[in-house]
Amino acid sequence: MADKKMVLVACGTGIATSTVVCKRVEDLLANNGVDANVIQCKIAEIGTYEDQAALLITTTIPPREYKIPVVKAVNYLTGMQTEKTDRAILDALK
């Protein structure tokens, strides 16, 4: 059995847009059988989790490069091409 993955969902403040994206990501992972702990945070807090996380999903421009894959999830806010973002997230967690 695979280990539970940590997925970070971040926006500038860790409150507004990341809340919307976090729920969407939790549902996506559950519906696809991905065992993951989804953590909502501020983009400035990523360094705290980076060594343990498998993926960063963000609604803002990352301030630097990270050791983990990054998926931009603005599509979830606009409602356009959300399937593309879904696929990028699932592919990154394979």
CATH of the domain at 67: 3.40.50.2300
d(CA 47, CA 50): 5
Which pLDDT belongs to residue 13? 86
Q: Look up the domain containing 59 and give its range.
A: 5-92
Q: How many domains does the chain have?
A: 1
Neighbours of 83 (CB within 10 A): 8
> Are the beta carbons of 73 and 17 closer than 8 angstroms?
no
Which pLDDT belongs to residue 14? 80
pTM value is: 0.92
Q: Give the CB-side neighbour count of residue 72, counting CA atoms within 13 A.
A: 9
pLDDT by residue (tens digit) across 9-67? 999 888 889 999 999 999 999 999 999 999 999 999 999 999 999 999 999 989 899 99
What's the Cα-to-Cα distance from 15 to each of 11, 22, 34, 57, 91, rounded to whole Å? Answer: 7, 10, 24, 14, 26
- Mean pLDDT of the region 80-92: 97
